[in-house]
């Protein structure tokens, strides 16, 4: 992992502005690997706010009811204890939270009744609001494209009923997973119409940012043409850029003469792609570098 966050200053500014204007919500979309989690982590680290994070799990259409909220509550119990949580809910009655975490007792029934759900929703909202009254709170729900129905319902309830306390809800999701009938689509469309909600997309990294990332990961200036190749292959996706750079670094380490051909080819992935995205068919490459490549490839494969 690159220890430095590359680029993303506009996105960080947007998030900081949303926190300053809280209560509100940010719906942050973007393809897998574009850096949503990394962005949120960097934002949370520097934000003058308590950050609570829960992720949705890829468990099929039914999922695990309220899974990210269970994670959030577990983290909060770790931070302020059961008593601390009880102090934030009306009359200290944490019974409704049993649906989320066994530390709060046994749920009244196996499946939540409408009344029980309504109580749970109210308690979670009050809990978060009262916590935010003590200081700004960022609630991050990651990977909402995997959210089960209960989680989607609770999210909609929270965002629609935000009070006055500085509570910012940040929801991340993979835009490339939202097919035409995906249930999250409807939720997002409804929420983005609300005044205090901002929907935004994280984009691909610009070439200068890819160059900075590759340099950071290689620990040195990349050989000529490498950044362009990695940018073309990764389409500015930091995750793919990182993978290409790591492969390149491995090959560079195994190539005694550290020749550019080896780096280029290594950064281009599979053997077939190696030829096409390298732009130079193996047969047309200078004999010495082809020999070098074969030697280095052999030495890496043998490891
Ligand atoms: N702006 C960035 N600078 C440096 N590394 C990044 C950046 N964005 C993402 N990464 C790295 O790329 C990888 C994928 O990012 P991640 O945040 O998990 O993507 P997503 O959550 O959108 O699927 C991680 O290793 C992350 O550290
Ligand atoms: Mg992520």
CA separation (Å) from 166 to 39, 67, 132, 141, 159? 20, 24, 6, 17, 12
Cα–ligand 1 centroid distance for 39 (angstroms): 7
Which pLDDT score is estimated for 275? 37
Cα–ligand 1 centroid distance for 36 (angstroms): 7
Q: Quote the CA–CA distance of 122 and 111 in Å, as a whole number.
A: 18
Into how many domains does the chain fold?
Answer: 2
Going 72 to 77 to 80 to 86, the CA torsion angle's sign is: positive
CA-proximal residue: ligand 1, atom 12 (nearest): 239
- Ligand number nearest CA of 33 is 1
pLDDT tens digits, one per residue of 197-227: 999 999 999 999 999 998 998 888 888 888 8
Gyration radius of the chain over CA positions: 24
- Ligand number nearest CA of 36 is 1
Q: Which atom of ligand 1 sits closest to the CA of residue 39? A: 17
Which pLDDT score is estimated for 63? 65
Q: Quote the CA–CA distance of 64 and 62 in Å, as a whole number.
A: 7
Structure tokens at 210: 């890819």
Domain residues for the domain of 239 are 207-302
Average pLDDT of the chain? 85
CB 45 within 8 A of CB 164: no
Q: Would you mind telling me the total number of residues written for the chain in this entry?
A: 303
In which element (H, E) is residue 140 found?
A: strand 137-142
Question: Do residue 34 and residue 134 come from a single domain?
Answer: yes
Q: Quote the CA–CA distance of 169 and 159 in Å, as a whole number.
A: 7
Question: Do residue 197 and residue 125 come from a single domain?
Answer: yes
Residues enclosing ligand 1, CB less than 6 A? 1-2, 5-8, 30, 32-38, 213, 238-239, 242
pLDDT tens digits, one per residue of 61-75: 566 789 999 999 999
pLDDT for residue 247 is more than 90: no
Q: Report if residue 180 sits inside a domain.
A: yes
Q: Report if residue 220 sits inside a domain.
A: yes
Cα–ligand 1 centroid distance for 30 (angstroms): 11
Q: Which atom of ligand 1 sits closest to the CA of residue 7? A: 1
Question: Do residue 123 and residue 153 come from a single domain?
Answer: yes
Q: Quote the CA–CA distance of 294 and 285 in Å, as a whole number.
A: 12
- Secondary structure of the chain: what % helix, strand, coil (to 5)? 55, 10, 30
Q: Report if residue 47 sits inside a domain.
A: yes
Q: Report if residue 237 sits inside a domain.
A: yes
Q: Residue 22 is part of a domain; what is its CATH number?
A: 3.40.50.300
Cα–ligand 1 centroid distance for 277 (angstroms): 24
């Amino acid at each position: 992992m690159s220890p430095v966050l590359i680029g993303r200053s506009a996105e960080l500014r947007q998030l900081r502005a949303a926190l300053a204007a809280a209560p509100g919500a940010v719906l942050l979309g973007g393809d897998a690997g574009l850096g949503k989690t990394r962005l949120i982590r960097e934002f949370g680290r520097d934000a003058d706010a308590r950050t609570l994070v829960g992720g949705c799990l890829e468990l099929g259409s039914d999922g695990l009811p309220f899974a990210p909220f269970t994670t959030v509550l577990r983290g909060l119990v770790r931070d302020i204890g059961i008593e601390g949580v009880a102090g934030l809910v009306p009359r200290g009655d944490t019974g409704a939270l049993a649906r989320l975490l066994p530390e709060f007792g046994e749920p009244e029934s196996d499946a939540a009744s409408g009344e029980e759900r309504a109580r749970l929703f109210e308690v979670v909202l009050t809990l978060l609001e009262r916590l935010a009254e003590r200081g700004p709170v960022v609630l991050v729900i990651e990977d909402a494209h995997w959210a089960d129905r209960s989680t989607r319902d609770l999210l909609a309830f929270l965002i629609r009923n935000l009070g006055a306390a500085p509570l910012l809800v940040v929801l991340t999701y993979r835009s490339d997973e939202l097919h035409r009938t995906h249930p999250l689509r409807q939720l997002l469309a409804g929420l983005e119409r609300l005044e205090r909600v901002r929907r935004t997309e994280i984009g691909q990294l610009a070439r200068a940012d890819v160059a900075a990332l590759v340099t950071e990961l290689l620990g040195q200036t990349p050989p000529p043409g490498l950044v362009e190749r990695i940018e073309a292959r990764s389409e500015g996706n930091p995750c793919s850029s990182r993978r290409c750079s790591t492969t390149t670094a491995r090959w560079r380490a195994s190539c005694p003469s550290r020749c550019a051909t080896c780096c280029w080819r290594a950064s281009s992935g599979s053997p077939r792609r190696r030829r096409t995205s390298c732009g130079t068919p193996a047969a047309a490459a200078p004999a010495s570098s082809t020999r070098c490549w074969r030697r280095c490839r052999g030495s890496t494969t043998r490891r």
